[in-house]
Amino acid sequence: MARMVIALGGNALGNNPAEQQEAVKSTASSIVDLLENGHQITLAHGNGPQVGMINLAFEVSAASPEGTPEMPFPECGAMSQGYIGYHLQNAIREEMKSRDINKNAATVITQVIVDENDPAFENPSKPIGAFYTEKEAEDLRTSKGYNMVEDAGRGYRRVVPSPLPVDIAEKDIISDLVSNGEVVIACGGGGIPVVKTGSGLKGVPAVIDKDYASEKLAELLDADYLVILTAVEQVAINFGTPEQKNLDKMDLETAEKYCEEGHFAPGSMLPKVKAAMKFAESGKGRKALITSLEKARAGLKGETGTLIIDE
Ligand SMILES: Nc1ncnc2c1ncn2[C@@H]1O[C@H](COP(=O)(O)OP(=O)(O)O)[C@@H](O)[C@H]1O
Ligand SMILES: NC(=O)OP(=O)(O)O
């Protein structure tokens, strides 16, 4: 039995509510396979497309005469956690029921504490929402004051600040649930970013990277594994070129070298490799695995995926 924190990539959720409800069924099947193998599981997930969509919907509505009030960004993040968690926990519960597993799945709305002086607040870098053409991006810059960047050749996206996670407010309740064998969905969308004030926690407009938040959660839960599931089975060097070489394993020194050589795209594979490295070096025997959702079970048996360890 291993305790693991699993970070689910965008492909586990689909692009809209209908797609999401369908996609989470096969996500749930892969997760319950791991539960049946005796593992303790906490699931985290992204929210870039979803939080952008929610925020934009409220902005459009607030601008119309009969519209709703403006919705602060942290509340948009909380809504994204709620609606993704709702689909995930129901799909996992149904999958457990179909296999006669007498356990449950629950979503913990999670607040992740960040440093209010994190330089990320001055340098928005996290892409959210839909993709736009260059012309649409320019119009959004002017009309809404959004920061827009080109995202890995796929079009233009809005970017918001992405501070690093420092602590997790709900870590103890997550630990209690997971120790009881329940599947816990936590740190959705990297968690709602909050700062500590004299009068309690206060939400801040930002989106934390879910791979970094999952790493922090895995450390705090004293997990054995951080498992990062994405659209590719293995991490590669020279990715997307005729010289592509998939990697079975990386020690920290090799991983650092490949990062410096620019093999991992910023905003996609780089944060995954960095999070994996941080977890592997955070404690003896801790392992990080990057693979696809479909290959998670084989990856944990050492048959595929890319393992990052401190050797
Ligand atoms: N060196 C690399 N090795 C493997 N995949 C890479 C590499 N560099 C970039 N990628 C791309 O990064 C993607 C994962 O990032 P992304 O789609 O942002 O993640 P998420 O699954 O969290 O939504 C992979 O599907 C792949 O297309
Ligand atoms: N919060 C976050 O990292 O979301 P994505 O994985 O969707 O970018």
pLDDT in tens, 143-152: 999 999 998 7
CB burial of 95-116 (b: ≥16 within 10 Å; e: otherwise) equals bbeeeebeebbbbbbbbbbbee
Q: pLDDT grade, residue 267 (50/70/90)? A: confident
Q: What is the pLDDT of residue 67?
A: 85
Q: pLDDT grade, residue 14 (50/70/90)? A: confident
SS3 177: helix
Give the ligand 2 atom nearest the CA of 209: 3
Residue 45: its H or E element: strand 40-45
**278 is an active site residue:** no
Beta bridge partners of 132: 156
| Alpha-carbon separation of residue 214 from 8, 159, 185, 226 (angstroms) | 10, 21, 11, 8
Q: What is the pLDDT of residue 92?
A: 97
Give the ligand 2 atom nearest the CA of 10: 7
Point out the catalytic residue in the list 171, 272, 274, 295.
272
Using the predicted structure, report yes or no on whether residue 154 has a pLDDT greater than 90. Answer: no
Q: What is the pLDDT of residue 98?
A: 97
Q: What is the pLDDT of residue 268?
A: 87
Q: pLDDT grade, residue 10 (50/70/90)? A: confident
- Cα separation, 46 vs 84, in Å, equals 9
β-pairing verdict for 287-292 and 306-309: antiparallel
Residue bearing the bigger pLDDT, 113 or 15: 113
CA angle 297, 298, 304 (to 5 degrees): 135
Q: What is the pLDDT of residue 258?
A: 98
**210 is an active site residue:** yes
Q: Pick the residue whose CA is nearest to atom 1 on ligand 2.
A: 189
**10 is an active site residue:** yes
Q: What is the pLDDT of residue 227?
A: 97
Using the predicted structure, report yes or no on whether residue 238 has a pLDDT greater than 80. Answer: yes
Q: What is the pLDDT of residue 255?
A: 98
Q: pLDDT grade, residue 120 (50/70/90)? A: very high
pLDDT in tens, 278-299: 999 999 899 999 999 999 999 9
Q: What is the pLDDT of residue 152?
A: 73
Using the predicted structure, report yes or no on whether residue 206 has a pLDDT greater than 80. Answer: yes
Average pLDDT in the chain = 95
Centroid of ligand 1 to alpha carbon of 228 (angstroms): 11
What average pLDDT does this structure show over 270-276?
97
Write the ipTM: 0.98
| Alpha-carbon separation of residue 130 from 8, 74, 95, 173, 270 (angstroms) | 19, 19, 31, 34, 21
How large a percentage of the chain has pLDDT more than 70? Answer: 100
Centroid of ligand 2 to alpha carbon of 210 (angstroms): 5
Give this prediction's pTM: 0.96
- Cα separation, 215 vs 225, in Å, equals 10
- Cα separation, 79 vs 47, in Å, equals 10
Q: What is the pLDDT of residue 151?
A: 82
CB distance 142 to 148 below 8 Å = no
What average pLDDT does this structure show over 80-85?
97
CA angle 117, 164, 300 (to 5 degrees): 170
